[in-house]
Every structure is written in structure tokens, then in C-alpha cells.
Amino acid sequence: MSLALAVDFGGTKVEAALVDDAGVVLPGSRFRSPTGPTASSEALAAAVDEVVTAALAARPDGVELLGAGIGSAGPINVAAGRISPLNVAAWREYPLLDQVRSHLPGLPAVLRMDGLCITLAEHWVGAAQGESNVMGMIVSTGVGGGLILNGLTVPGPTGNAGHIGHVEVGGFDVRCKCGGIGCVEAVASGPRTVEWAQQQGFAGTTGEDIATAYAAGDPIAIAAVRRAGRAIGQAIGSTTAVDDLDVVAIGGGFSHVTPDLFTIIRETIQERAAFPFVAKVRVVPSGLSGDGPLIGAAALIHQPELLG
Amino acid sequence: MSLALAVDFGGTKVEAALVDDAGVVLPGSRFRSPTGPTASSEALAAAVDEVVTAALAARPDGVELLGAGIGSAGPINVAAGRISPLNVAAWREYPLLDQVRSHLPGLPAVLRMDGLCITLAEHWVGAAQGESNVMGMIVSTGVGGGLILNGLTVPGPTGNAGHIGHVEVGGFDVRCKCGGIGCVEAVASGPRTVEWAQQQGFAGTTGEDIATAYAAGDPIAIAAVRRAGRAIGQAIGSTTAVDDLDVVAIGGGFSHVTPDLFTIIRETIQERAAFPFVAKVRVVPSGLSGDGPLIGAAALIHQPELLG
């Protein structure tokens, strides 16, 4: 057995753990600390140091440590090892790779976007095992993803490939904070779906409220889920038109709002009937547990042959 | 010197030529024959045989022929070597690869989508030399393209990656014949732009009429070009969000409507200011002559190391 240190840095928390070469988190090695949009740069750096130190201390004697894989919310700058997460204002071009590397002198460290790590995890232990043209996708507070094409990860020259949340969808005249018009994140994320439902008179305030109301047959909740599912299906359709995907595995909190969400997504894609290569894309629920982002970060070390 | 047979099959014509290992069409070796939406399957096959036979007959004595590269309008089925061009109704899953190969017994033959061939040509002799993350794009009767990511062509598992014409753009409530809503082809192709202008009262009937009226300051033509340029910029923005492109080289008849088209495209992309990795994409006019599609088809044989 060998281990990789895995780090997952996001807008609400940072986690670290040791992950073995079978894609299993070592029991007792997983630690988390809050991040958040208002944290200072020093507090964020301390949070990273804390979880990394704790995870490394959990290494059993005599077990080899291969290196560190780091997944981060985007945008990132992969060549420079720096991150600028949209929802973590204190860090712009922050040298996270160097900070983590300083804990493992002499060992390799690899930084990629969290969406790419999720995709590696789906490919390794999740819903996309054996597939060569995959998008791993998250529908939650935001909408994001990552790409494996022709059997290799596609980080892009800056490390930001896979930002499906900022693919526009037709028929929605909503401005996105990125500057786009009708980006799927601005239409179909959990919070934006709740916001739309509220504008129609919905009294709830969370994605869970939408889920409960949907299950009870509330017409606004049904319309809201339908709207989100259509937008997600449209974005997958566009992305498949460009990248000829075989499978999209979707996780994230709002993806669980109802299993019907997947039916709506699939029906929307089937409307692209003129293109069998678009209609062929399979959309499936994520096969990952809550360990997925860490397992994917560890894959950056355990499966270097997949790094494009 | 060595030569490749290059074949370019499209909705209005099929061409064949011999192309040398410097990306130059051998003088006197280029032949064309009409295709068209109403041609019978037999007439199409005869057109292919005619141009291939004529091109091969132009080979000088003693010069090595390496194989055949074939570009085709999509969709195609790259694994089976078959083509189903949307605008050539008589051919669905037609075995074009085998037909061309029968003219060169024992030599390799490679089929890819025409958009991928254009992209190879931009990379070899055009506007994307030295680049590793490229889309070659055509704005004409349709809108299409191809991809080079991380230095390798991305055909996709079915051969249809690069269909940027069927990326949806936000804010347009237009149905596309593919089933999408607001696909950039349905908004910004030459014919669709003319159609929109006519609905606003424009008296012209062609993309050239739009170009002339634009140069003369006609307000409808200006609005029509602006609308097309915005849609193209939005589609490139979405595609760059997913594929982290460095450069997009645009050719095709309607791309010449006015140089201002490129300014509008670039301004639209700059609105994605939250994402430097999107705003960084350079949009440039194609660096190809009319030989581009054939040169790109020949690259399938002359540059096998680029085939992903």
C-alpha cells in the first residue's frame, strides 16, 4: 500500500486526508476546517496548514507517502500553482501549491481544479469507470465540472477547463456574475433556482425546501425543478456538441432534489434529435461518496498516467 | 518530397488534390465536383470517384504517395468510417472512407470532420501556428469548427467534437433544426443573419448584400452584424469556459462581412470579465487560403503525431 495526501479547497471548507492506491480514504486521516467568503488570507492559510498537518500525522509508520494532490475551486492558474476561487475573495493568485508542498519536502505535488478531481474520482471509483470521454459535474451552490477526453484529463492551459457552469443556455435572459447571459449556473444552481421560485411566490428558502415541496406536488417547485433540469440538459447538449462526451456524472447537493431531475435533463438532451452523437450522451447520478473530492485529488498522484 | 491525397467532402462540392509535406497543394492536382442536398447517392459516389481519380492521375512519376486524408461535413462516424452530412440527405452512414481507400490499395486512409481538418490547417500553415489549444471555426452557410487541445486533435469518440455551431447562446429564443434553442448556427450563420435582417425590413438577400449595406452604414445591416457577432462571441465564451482555449481562428464566407465582426466578437468575450481564462482567448481571422480544407485533410497523413 502507498498513500497520497489529498487536499480539497473550497468556498466553505478545506479538507485533507490520506488516500491509498485503491482510492480509499485512510480511516482517521480526514480533517476539515472552515474557509468562507469573508475569511482573511492568514486565516485561510492557517486552515490549510491545520488540516494538512493533521492528515500527515495520521500516516502509519512504514507506509510510503507518494506526494500531494490538491483540488481547488476555480479559477486557478495551474502553471503558477496559484488559485483565485471566485467565492473566496481574500485569495487571488494565492500560491496554494507551494504552501502544501512545503509540508512534503522532496515529494511531488499537483494542483488541479476541483471539477477535474471529481471527474478523476468518478472515473476511478464512481459512475464513469471504464469510460474515456467523461464530464464529472456538480450542481450545488454553483455548477462546475471537469473533463476526461480520449482517456486523459483536460486541464486546459490555465487549468480551468471544465467550467460548464458558465456555458450559456438558450431562452434564458438572465445575467450571470461572470458577464455571460443565461449561464447555466445563473439559471440552475440551488440558490438561483430557489430565487426564481421565490419570485413566483414560493415561500421556502433552500434547495431542501424545493425538494420537499416537489415531492408534495407543489406546482411552483415542479416548475422550478423543470426549469433547472432543462437548463442543465441544454448545457450538457452544448458541451457534448463541442466535446462529443459519452457520459456525464452529476453530483452535488441540488442534484438530489428529486430523481426526476435526471429524467428532465435526459429528455432535454433527446430534443437534439438531429445529432445522434449529442443524444447518445448518458447522464447518470454521481457514484461518489462524500470522499469523492479527496479521492479525486489523490488520483492526481496515484494515477499520473491520466494527466493530460 | 512526399504527397498525400486530400479529399474535402461538403454540402455543395467535393474536392480532391495532392498536398506535399510542406502543406502546399501540388499545382494542377486540385479537382472539384458538385454535391448538393438533392444529389442521389450514386451521383455523389461518382463525384468522389471523379475528383479522386483526377487528383491521383496528377502525381508526378517517382514521388511517394503516403495515403489519403479525408475531411467531411458532419456528423460522421469515425470508428466506422461513415458520414451522414446534415445537408446531404442521400448519405446517411455512407462508407466514404472505404470508397476513397479503394483508390489507394495498401495505403492508410484517415477520415475526420471538416472542422477538425480546418483546425489542423490553421495549426500547420495558418493563424494558429505554434498554439496548443485551438479552435478552427467556420462562419458561412453553417457554423462549425474543430479542436486541438493540449497539442492534440480532439476528434471525440464518434468523430464529431468541435460542433460549435450547436452551442446555445443566451438571450436568443430561436429554435435550431438540431432541436436546440438559440444554437449559434441558428442565430449567426450567413443565411440566418440575412433572414433576421429581412424580418426587420432589409431588402437584400445574401451575406454579400449585408456586407455592402454595412459598409454604407445601413442601420439594419449594422444591427444584423452586431447580433451575429455577439452570438459568435457568446458561443466562443461558453466553449472557452469548458475547453480553456487560447486561440480561435475564424474563416468562412460570412466571417468576411466586415472586419468589425471580429471587434464585436472580442468585445462580447471581454464581458466575461470575472474569468481571465475566458477573456484571454484570442479571436483572429483565418490564416488560410481556399486550399485550407484540403491542406488540413492532408495533415491527417503528414502529421499523424497530432491525431488524438
C-alpha B30/C-alpha B57 separation (Å) is 11
Name the residue among B121, B89, B80, B78 with its Cα closest to residue B11.
B89
* Position A289 confidence tier, pLDDT thresholds 50, 70, 90: very high
Report the pLDDT value the prediction gives residue A41, as an integer from 0 to 100.
Answer: 97
> What is the DSSP-derived secondary structure letter of residue B24?
-
Average pLDDT of chain B, as a whole number: 97
**ipTM of the complex as predicted:** 0.95
pLDDT tens track for B219-231 = 999 999 999 999 9
Class of domain A130-285: alpha beta
Nearest to A274 among B159, B178, B182 (CB): B178
- In chain A, the residue whose alpha carbon lies closest to the alpha carbon of B132 is A157
Report the pLDDT value the prediction gives residue A273, as an integer from 0 to 100.
Answer: 87
C-alpha B83/C-alpha A14 separation (Å) is 49
Amino acid at A57: A
Q: Is the pLDDT of residue B241 over 90?
A: yes
Residue-by-residue DSSP string for chain A: -EEEEEEEE-SSEEEEEEEETTS-BPTT--EEEE--TT--HHHHHHHHHHHHHHHHHTPPTT-EEEEEEEEE-S-EETTTTEE--TT-TT-SSB-HHHHHHTTSTTS-EEEEEHHHHHHHHHHHHSTTTT-SSEEEEEESSSEEEEEEETTEE---TTS-TT-GGG-B-TT---B-TTS-BSBHHHHHSHHHHHHHHHHTT----SHHHHHHHHHTT-HHHHHHHHHHHHHHHHHHHHHHHHH--SEEEEESGGGGS-THHHHHHHHHHHT-TT-HHHHT-EEEE----TTHHHHHHHHHHH-GGG--
* A2-118+290-306: CATH topology: Nucleotidyltransferase; domain 5 (3.30.420)
User: What's the length of chain A?
Assistant: 308
pLDDT tens track for B132-142 = 999 999 999 89
pLDDT tens track for B70-120 = 999 999 999 999 999 988 999 999 999 999 999 999 999 999 999 999 999
Report the pLDDT value the prediction gives residue B97, as an integer from 0 to 100.
Answer: 98
* Position B27 confidence tier, pLDDT thresholds 50, 70, 90: very high
Q: Is the pLDDT of residue B302 over 90?
A: yes
Q: Is the pLDDT of residue A173 over 90?
A: no
pLDDT tens track for A237-258 = 999 999 999 999 999 999 999 9
Interface of B with A in 46-75 (CB under 8 A): 75
Rg (CA), chain A: 19
C-alpha B27/C-alpha B277 separation (Å) is 42
Interface of A with B in 121-160 (CB under 8 A): 132-133, 147, 149-150, 152, 154-160
> Are residues B168 and A234, on separate chains, in Cβ contact within 8 Å?
yes
CB contact at 8 A, B233 and B190: no
- On the CB side of A210, how many CA atoms lie within 13 Å of its CA? 33
Residue-by-residue DSSP string for B220-240: HHHHHHHHHHHHHHHHHHHHH
Given CA atoms B68, B73, B77, B83 in this order, what sign does their dihedral have?
Answer: negative
Classify B102 as helix, strand or coil. coil
Q: Inform me whether the C-beta atom of residue A179 falls under 8 Å from chain B C-beta atoms.
A: yes
Share of chain A above pLDDT 90, in %: 95
Cell triple for B27: 499545382
C-alpha A10/C-alpha A267 separation (Å) is 32
Report the pLDDT value the prediction gives residue B173, as an integer from 0 to 100.
Answer: 87
Cell triple for A9: 479547497
In CATH terms, are A2-118+290-306 and A130-285 the same topology?
A: yes
Q: Which residue has the cell 498537518?
A: A53
> Are residues A242 and B178, on separate chains, in Cβ contact within 8 Å?
no
pLDDT tens track for A109-127 = 999 999 999 999 999 999 9
C-alpha B266/C-alpha B264 separation (Å) is 5
C-alpha A160/C-alpha A18 separation (Å) is 25
Given CA atoms A269, A274, A275, A276 in this order, what sign does their dihedral have?
Answer: positive
Nearest to B276 among A75, A149, A154 (CB): A75
Report the pLDDT value the prediction gives residue B308, as an integer from 0 to 100.
Answer: 80
Q: Could you tell me the residue ranges of all domains in chain B?
A: 2-118+290-306, 129-285
Please tell me the distance in Å from A187's CA to the nearest CA on chain B: 11
Q: Is the pLDDT of residue A274 over 90?
A: no
* B129-285: CATH topology: Nucleotidyltransferase; domain 5 (3.30.420)
Contacts of B307 in chain A (CB under 8 A): none
Contacts of A159 in chain B (CB under 8 A): 244, 277
> How large is the average pLDDT for residues A141-154?
96
* Position A72 confidence tier, pLDDT thresholds 50, 70, 90: very high
Q: Inform me whether the C-beta atom of residue B94 falls under 8 Å from chain A C-beta atoms.
A: no
User: What's the length of chain B?
Assistant: 308
Amino acid at B167: V
Report the pLDDT value the prediction gives residue A36, as an integer from 0 to 100.
Answer: 86
> Are residues A154 and B150, on separate chains, in Cβ contact within 8 Å?
yes
Average pLDDT of chain A, as a whole number: 97
Across the A:B interface, residue pairs with CB atoms under 8 Å apart total 201
Nearest to B272 among A155, A159, A179 (CB): A179
Report the pLDDT value the prediction gives residue B258, as an integer from 0 to 100.
Answer: 98
pLDDT tens track for B255-274 = 999 999 999 999 999 999 88
> How large is the average pLDDT for residues B170-181?
93
Residue A106, Ramachandran bin (φ over 0: left; ψ between -120 and 50: alpha; else beta): left
> How large is the average pLDDT for residues A181-208?
97
CB burial of A62-83 (b: ≥16 within 10 Å; e: otherwise) equals eeeebbbbbbbbbbbbbeebbb
Sheet containing B134-139: order of strands: B152-153, B143-149, B134-139, B247-251, B282-285
C-alpha B218/C-alpha B281 separation (Å) is 31
CB contact at 8 A, A170 and A182: yes
Q: Pick from B84, B275, B282, B307 the residue to mutate for testing the A interface (most A CBs within 10 Å).
A: B275
- In chain A, the residue whose alpha carbon lies closest to the alpha carbon of B267 is A179
Report the pLDDT value the prediction gives residue B273, as an integer from 0 to 100.
Answer: 86
Determine which helix (DSSP H) or strand (DSSP E) holds B9, and give its type and residue range: strand B2-9
> How large is the average pLDDT for residues B145-164?
96
